[in-house]
Amino acid sequence: MEKNIIEQLMAYDAGDLVRPTKDVTIKLLKFGGKPFTFPITSLDTKVASAIQQDMYDLQIKKGGMDMRLLLAPARLKTIEHGCPEVFRSKELQEHFGARSAHELINLLLELGEQDYLKGEIDALTGFTSEEAAAEEVKN
């Protein structure tokens, strides 16, 4: 007899929960195409939710609302929290003269590399790309 979802979940304790991790190798253009391996982790649910909320800038104006999507800060926050071992390293920040994780990210990674790393972190966090979601709907 198959167990229901409650019984299945009750077989685990909070200490058994792990966040997905993996290593992502990127050939960094600013370093002559040399490959570097970044250890990444999925985002904590609270962090991911905060990043999503901060992505939208709503302004109420006479005659309606104006909404802007702020992708750059969301990308930087995702990379900072999804690869903290590298970009939150005070030693690395000092070495490159960066005053923050975001400054270090911008210093070391081109925009395409940032987008790729963010996409890998998003995938670990359970987000699917718009293309993948559209393909799922088709099937």
Q: What is the pLDDT of residues 85-122, one digit of tens each?
A: 999 999 999 999 999 999 999 999 999 999 999 999 99
Give percent of the chain above pLDDT 70. Answer: 86
pTM: 0.79
pLDDT digits (tens, 9 = 90+) for 48-74: 988 888 777 667 777 777 766 667 889
Q: What is the pLDDT of residue 137?
A: 41
User: In 13-132, where do the E strands start and end?
Assistant: 21-28, 34-41, 56-61, 64-69
**CB burial class (10 A; 0-12, 13-18, 19+) of residue 47?**
middle
What value does the mean pLDDT of the chain take?
A: 87
